[in-house]
Structure 1
Amino acid sequence: MKRVRKTFKAAGMHGFGAFTDFGTVVPELAGEFLKQLKANGSEPATEAVFFEPKRDDHHLEGYFFAGMIGHEEHPENMDRLDMQEQDYVTVRGSLGQIADLHRELSVWAAEQGYERDLETYIVETYHPAENGEEVEIYLPVIGQRTVDKHT
């Protein structure tokens, strides 16, 4: 786990839904994106999904974006997402452990004193690996809180 400063540019498709349905609707949109990408004769580069963070218990629905990283040109029927440079905490591991990775990264970030940025998308990038697929998770952070050692 580490802190990085990154910019993301992606082509893909926007979606919206209940946070409780993200486990279903996000993969469906990603599948539709890949189908349209292949129909346009393009091959995917690094696949990625961008998620609006859930800010509190009353925040029930959110936006997401499924696509591919790094394509300057994109098919006509797809949207472009350009995220400005941002600080993130990140971890990479097995896609099958994604929930644990999110939880462990959140705990680590808090222990390191990082404050979550709830106004910037969470990013997941997907990578082929020998034993299936890996995911790299980027949680946006504002910075580290300072701790007053004299109180």
Structure 2
Amino acid sequence: MKIPFHEQFGTFFRTYNKDLCMICSPCLFGSMEYVLTLSIIGTLTTLWDCVCLTNCGQIYSHLKPIEPNFCPVIKKYFRFLTCGLYLAIYSSLAIGIKIEHPVLLLPYILLQMVNITLLILVAFLSIPKSTKLTRKTLIYCGFSAFNFLQCFCSFRHMLQSRDF
């Protein structure tokens, strides 16, 4: 069973083929080992966060909530949900790199696209308010863009190496 990637992404890759070939050269981006390491570290970090959330107990029991409508228990459940989401995304990224199947890289690529878009939006919205961007935010944005390019170029190499 063939996946109709060629029909969906074919026009995009043909239109920007020259630029993508320059950016996605194996010397710059598209290292499968880097993406596999990224996915393993992301999975282990998310698992550790889940373990810490499970063992923390009622850390907010002696404190009054800052916002009366937002209970700390709900905040903990939201963190559990995001941990589950990230665990699924990073593990699918690891499996996709290991078996060289590009479909499993798409959730991480879409997550990073949304992440980078939100970071750019926050940066532009902070300019009129004269809020300074911290070095930590700029480094995070740079690493997010770098990881996105690594994963996207790996995705592109997988599509080119197979006949999808």
TM-score for the superposition, normalised by structure 1: 0.25
* Structure with the larger helix share: 2
* Structure with the larger strand share: 1
* Structure with bigger gyration radius: 2
